């Protein structure tokens, strides 16, 4: 018996589109497979009413009856060609396509992120996991995968890596690895040359050691088709964190793109509760159930009052609930749309940090990078050539005249600004209404949710699959406090040094009020989704000599935003 499911994903950014399937292999268990199909995208031009079909790619997977990926094995036995799945591809991209593969056991309950290549027994636990490998004898049980390119109109090449060719039995990739590709220069406008259809098959082998305990073990390999074929690094998207998030190990960083504006962010799985005297020791002894994914760069999404966000790309979950009425709609398919009533203010005085032409609205946001993203106001010659700036061994510091004409230092990062992967960028500033995606400034939320964060706002401007951190009296929900308990000297309230250092890289970016930037370089402020009262919301506040993990702040102030994911 096997079950067919349908999943579909399309992204137009960078000219990349992605479709995926999951092939499950089992010992003593049933097999499941996902089926993916694509929707043709068309565009009509007004000149000649011509219709041009864009690059569209799809994969479907089928298992013939009797070829399920199941096997009954005894100790000391090796079996190969366990089951057979036929993968049918179609792609009319003139630049071809590539197929990536990754072990997907991490999607099963009870399997730690970062160990996603094992065959796992839910009943026996991880101690008995069967690892990936290609041995046929010995004391360690293992399993392996193999791809075969079947004759077709456009036959893809099966690729190799340091461990050998995927056309032979091969260890299951721990991270996304290109396993097959098809390259072509066919003319997209020539229908006769654009049907890049092909067939591949995938099968598995397993060896059961003499000491392996009896039980039911199951694992999976996920295959993803990406076009065009010259994408050499698998493109992570913030909005597909449900597909890749659980494959990220504690301490692992990846770069993920936000499909709303194609900006990239470094994402890291953080330990939220571990044993040890240093954060490195705590990470090493951290259970995956005590970890979360965090952005290690500030959100930099610009709001546009002429362009809405949707639940397909943004953390929008409810309509007509408290503060989620104005600017909201829902179509028959259930997709939620929100149009902010104010665009991001992008006109900055680089000498003072003030925002020109300021108009405060219920949804306010400010972008200090906007004048020139490659030369933002805090690195302009006008500021740095004022002899108020210097670079020391561990801090790049710049001073500028604050609103009251006093000199204030700006510490954008603890490490040299050019050497930390640009973690020190400050992103945008948002008032709380903007942060929770409410055109009513969040004043529909009037009572504290500190003791029960289940009553927090359910929407935010974070990408789909991500949310604002929570501040709570319940330790399990205290996102900022638990993070600091590992990375900021056991949750120190006397120093925020651990917050601005690797691997968190929070920024002392100050806040904006009435068009003026305050305390930049001196204090850091980050919004949570937790309500304080009608006029205030909880936030993280820190400086060099003080940290407050649950302070209340005016909802009208503009603070920084970091998003987190529970995947």
Residues pairing with 565 in the sheet: 293
d(CA 294, CA 283): 14
Tokens 């990739």 locate to 173
| pLDDT given at position 413 | 41
The domain in which residue 392 lies consists of 342-565
**Judgement on whether residues 215 and 352 belong to the same structural domain of the protein:** no
Q: What is the DSSP secondary structure assignment for residue 453, as one 8-state letter?
A: G
**Judgement on whether residues 46 and 190 belong to the same structural domain of the protein:** yes
| pLDDT given at position 493 | 79
**Judgement on whether residues 356 and 220 belong to the same structural domain of the protein:** no
Rounded alpha-carbon distances, angstroms, from residue 290 to 269, 275, 462, 543, 566: 10, 11, 22, 27, 10
| Strand 253-257 relative to strand 264-271, pairing | antiparallel
Q: Would you say residue 561 lies in a domain?
A: yes
pTM: 0.75
- Domains identified in the chain, total number: 2
Last residue of a domain, one of 234, 265, 287: 234
**What is the separation of C-alpha 126 from the centre of its chain, rounded to a whole number of angstroms?**
26
Secondary structure class of 279 (helix, strand, coil): helix
d(CA 204, CA 449): 51
Identify whether the C-beta of residue 33 lies closer than 8 Å to the C-beta of residue 62. yes
**Judgement on whether residues 373 and 229 belong to the same structural domain of the protein:** no
| Contacts for 373 with CB less than 8 Å, ≥ 6 apart | none
Q: How long, in residues, is the chain?
A: 567
**What is the separation of C-alpha 34 from the centre of its chain, rounded to a whole number of angstroms?**
22
**What is the separation of C-alpha 444 from the centre of its chain, rounded to a whole number of angstroms?**
30
Tokens 């204030």 locate to 408
Last residue of a domain, one of 234, 260, 278: 234
Per-residue pLDDT of the chain (567 residues; tens, 9 = 90+): 222 222 223 233 334 556 666 676 554 422 222 222 223 333 333 344 444 445 678 888 888 788 888 889 999 999 999 999 999 888 877 788 899 998 887 656 567 666 788 998 888 888 899 999 999 999 999 999 999 988 766 788 999 999 999 999 999 998 889 999 988 655 445 554 445 678 899 999 999 999 999 988 988 888 888 888 887 778 889 998 988 888 888 999 999 999 898 888 999 999 999 899 999 999 999 988 899 999 999 999 999 999 899 999 999 999 988 789 999 999 999 999 999 999 998 776 655 556 767 767 778 898 876 555 555 555 443 333 333 333 333 344 444 434 444 444 444 443 434 444 556 677 899 999 999 999 988 788 999 999 999 999 999 999 999 999 999 999 889 999 999 999 988 778 777 778 888 898 888 778 888 877 777 767 789 999 999 999 999 999 987 778 888 888 999 999 999 999 998
Residue 329 structure tokens: 């709609």
Q: Would you say residue 241 lies in a domain?
A: no
**Judgement on whether residues 222 and 353 belong to the same structural domain of the protein:** no
Q: pLDDT tens digits for 222-243? A: 888 888 888 777 888 999 898 8
Q: Would you say residue 490 lies in a domain?
A: yes
Q: pLDDT tens digits for 67-116? A: 888 889 999 999 999 999 999 888 877 788 899 998 887 656 567 666 78
Identify whether the C-beta of residue 464 lies closer than 8 Å to the C-beta of residue 313. yes
d(CA 155, CA 167): 13
Secondary structure class of 241 (helix, strand, coil): helix
Element (H, E) at 531: strand 524-531
Q: Would you say residue 290 lies in a domain?
A: no
| pLDDT given at position 52 | 45
Q: How far from each other are the two terminal CA atoms of the chain, in whole angstroms?
A: 29
**Judgement on whether residues 214 and 346 belong to the same structural domain of the protein:** no
Last residue of a domain, one of 183, 218, 234: 234
| pLDDT given at position 209 | 94
Q: Would you say residue 280 lies in a domain?
A: no
Neighbouring C-alpha atoms within 13 Å toward the C-beta of 50? 6
Q: Would you say residue 302 lies in a domain?
A: no
| pLDDT given at position 80 | 95
d(CA 320, CA 252): 39
**What is the separation of C-alpha 135 from the centre of its chain, rounded to a whole number of angstroms?**
35
Q: Would you say residue 72 lies in a domain?
A: yes
| pLDDT given at position 264 | 87
Q: Would you say residue 333 lies in a domain?
A: no
Phi/psi of residue 399, nearest 5 degrees: -105, 145
């Amino acid at each position: 018996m096997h079950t067919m499911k349908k999943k579909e994903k399309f992204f137009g950014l960078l000219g990349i589109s992605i479709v995926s399937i999951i092939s499950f292999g089992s010992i003593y268990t049933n097999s499941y497979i996902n089926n993916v199909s694509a929707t043709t995208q068309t565009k009509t031009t007004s000149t000649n009413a011509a219709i041009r079909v864009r690059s569209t790619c799809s994969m479907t997977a089928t298992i013939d009856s009797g070829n399920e990926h199941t096997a009954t094995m005894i100790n000391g036995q090796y079996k190969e060609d366990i089951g057979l799945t036929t993968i049918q591809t179609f792609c009319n991209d003139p630049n071809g396509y590539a197929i990536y593969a990754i072990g997907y056991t991490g999607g099963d309950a009870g399997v730690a992120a970062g160990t996603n290549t094992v065959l796992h027994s839910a009943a026996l636990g991880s101690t008995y996991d069967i690892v990936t490998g290609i041995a046929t004898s010995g004391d360690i049980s293992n399993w392996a995968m193999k791809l075969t390119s079947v004759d077709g109109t456009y036959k893809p090449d099966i690729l190799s890596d340091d461990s050998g060719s995927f056309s032979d039995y091969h260890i299951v990739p721990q991270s996304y690895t290109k396993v097959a590709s098809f390259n072509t220069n066919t003319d997209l406008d020539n229908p006769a040359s654009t049907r890049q259809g092909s067939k591949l098959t995938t099968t598995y082998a397993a060896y059961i050691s003499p000491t392996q305990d009896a039980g039911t073990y199951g694992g999976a390999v996920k295959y993803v088709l990406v076009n065009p074929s010259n994408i050499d690094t698998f493109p992570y998207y913030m909005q597909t964190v449900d597909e890749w998030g659980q494959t990220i190990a504690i301490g692992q960083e990846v770069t993920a793109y936000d499909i709303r504006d194609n900006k990239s962010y470094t994402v890291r799985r953080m330990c939220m509760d571990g044993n040890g005297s240093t954060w490195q020791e705590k990470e090493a002894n951290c259970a995956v159930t005590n970890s979360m994914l965090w952005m290690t760069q500030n959100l930099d999404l610009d709001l546009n009052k002429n362009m809405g966000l949707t639940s397909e790309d943004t953390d929008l979950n409810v309509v007509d609930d408290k503060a989620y009425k104005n600017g909201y709609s829902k179509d028959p398919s259930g997709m939620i749309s929100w149009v902010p009533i104010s665009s991001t203010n992008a006109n900055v005085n680089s000498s003072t940090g003030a925002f020109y032409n300021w108009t405060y609205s219920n949804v306010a946001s400010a972008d200090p990078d906007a004048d020139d993203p490659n030369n933002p106001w805090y690195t302009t010659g006008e500021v740095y050539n004022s002899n108020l700036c210097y670079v020391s061994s561990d801090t790049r510091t710049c001073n500028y005249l604050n609103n009251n004409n006093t000199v204030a230092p700006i510490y954008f990062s603890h490490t040299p600004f050019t050497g930390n992967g640009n973690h020190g960028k400050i992103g945008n500033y948002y008032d709380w209404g903007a942060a929770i995606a409410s055109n009513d400034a969040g004043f529909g939320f009037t009572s504290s949710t500190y003791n029960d964060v289940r009553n927090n706002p359910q929407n935010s401007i974070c990408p789909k699959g991500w949310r604002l951190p929570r501040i709570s009296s319940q330790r399990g929900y205290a996102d900022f406090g638990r993070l600091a308990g590992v990375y900021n000297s056991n949750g120190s309230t006397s120093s925020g040094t651990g917050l601005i250092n690797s691997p968190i890289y929070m920024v002392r970016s100050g806040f904006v009020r009435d068009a003026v930037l305050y305390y930049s370089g001196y204090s850091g402020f980050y919004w949570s989704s937790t309500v304080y009262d009608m006029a205030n919301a909880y936030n993280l506040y820190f400086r060099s000599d003080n940290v407050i993990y649950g302070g209340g702040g005016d909802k009208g102030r503009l603070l920084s935003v970091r998003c987190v994911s529970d995947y």
